[in-house]
Structure 1
């Protein structure tokens, strides 16, 4: 078979492969909406009421906020591990469309580290950066980028997940 006769077949094969790649990428943009619970962040000066979706299973934590195009100002996702996680554990932003802040929280609810994470536009997972905690943690909370600085929340401030213990200061 000559090259001229092969050209239409090569084009058809290329289009098919491109369609499969695009479909695979679209399927990877999983999304979930978990039940939200009231909570608050506490500093010496203020209490900031928030609404947090709780990701407690491995699958819920894997999907996280993937595929979300927006996140309400005082809404976020709490990744609950139930046991101490090493400082080397990290998060990534594959298939996450919005910039996020992440706070790593210890057993007492104290914020031990805060990182800013940018969306990863690459379809190749290995091209997405990871964001190590830098401190041991039991929970991690993702909020819109800039949330912690906007509300002047810093290391040593606390997350209170029992709304009955949240003063009405915010």
Structure 2
């Protein structure tokens, strides 16, 4: 791709992330407040099924807290990636802001994965306790889906590190010119 095409694509992706950063939290909020049923499959955990009578105020609060915990690293990652795209759109491929944004995205992606596993285990356990009182079961599983997501998150982290090393080499080369 030409630098101009990459800049145009980066600008479009930045706009997409800006819109998603607004719409996704609004959708989560609307779901927590207005939902009447839920079937949620979490990474490494069993599926959660909630019906209208399961949506007590406490359950909505727990779902809201879980959503907030999920949205935090997601939106931090989006902001980092948007920063990288904005820098690329301006032709600053290896700027400090571009590299820092991508590194923030990489760490947020890994944090999101960890949160979904452990926060999801808590959520599944809580929901099961509400549905079948006095019968505790703690669900935690490592699936192929988990290992795939972990591999991708770690690969992105390595790419972020390579990106930073490339920036350092670029700066060093600029001193020779």
Same fold by TM (over 0.5)?
no
TM-score by length of 1: 0.27
TM-score by length of 2: 0.27
Higher helix share: 2
